[in-house]
Amino acid sequence: MWCDGVMGASSPPSRWWALTALVPLTLFVLVGVVAGGSDAIIRLYFAGEPGRWARAVSEFESLDDARVALYVDLAFAASFAVVGYLLLRAGHHHWAPLRRSSDRGGRWIWGVMPAIAVVAGLLDLVETSAQLIWLDDLDPPRAVTRAIACVA
């Protein structure tokens, strides 16, 4: 694969490859469109209390609309983890290797940035999956809503 091996040992990908960042961006915009342009999905994530969570769910046209918005958000989270990892790894290894691999104090951060993107995507997947599990029950446990708000 083009991003394996020692820095500079393989040919860099095309700079046009960075346009793959449009995949998660498009899905992010689609979540807002599916949610009817409201910020109900954001209130759903940051509710923290079962009552506020139920009110946020009721702001959607139907439970099916809320479910579709959460499914699109799952796709966004997965694409963010994959595309974020690939772009940050390619950027670290090919597009700016000298600045990001110099002996200055911030060198290590660029090496862990791809892993941070994966962890962020996985946390979003867990958070959205919890939303989907409790969507039909409009009275989720307080611990669940608080955990979702903390992860969000």
User: Could you write out the DSSP letters of every residue in 82-105?
Assistant: HHHHHHHHHIIIIISHHHHTSSST
Q: Helix, strand, coil proportions of the chain in percent (round to 5)? A: 70, 0, 30
Splitting the chain (152 residues) into consecutive groups of 10 residues, what average pLDDT does each group show? 48 74 89 79 84 86 89 93 87 64 62 88 90 82 81 74
Nearest one of 152, 139, 150 to 41, comparing CA atoms: 152
pLDDT score, position 103: 54
pLDDT score, position 3: 47
> CB under 8 Å, gap of 24 or more: what pairs does 22-26 form?
23/79, 23/83, 24/76, 24/79, 24/80, 24/83, 24/84
Backbone phi and psi for residue 56, each to the nearest 5 degrees, phi listed first: -65, -40
pLDDT score, position 72: 93
Q: Encoding tokens for residue 104?
A: 């200055």
pLDDT score, position 107: 63
pLDDT score, position 133: 87
pLDDT score, position 10: 63
Q: What angle do CA 130, 76, 110 make, to 5 degrees?
A: 105
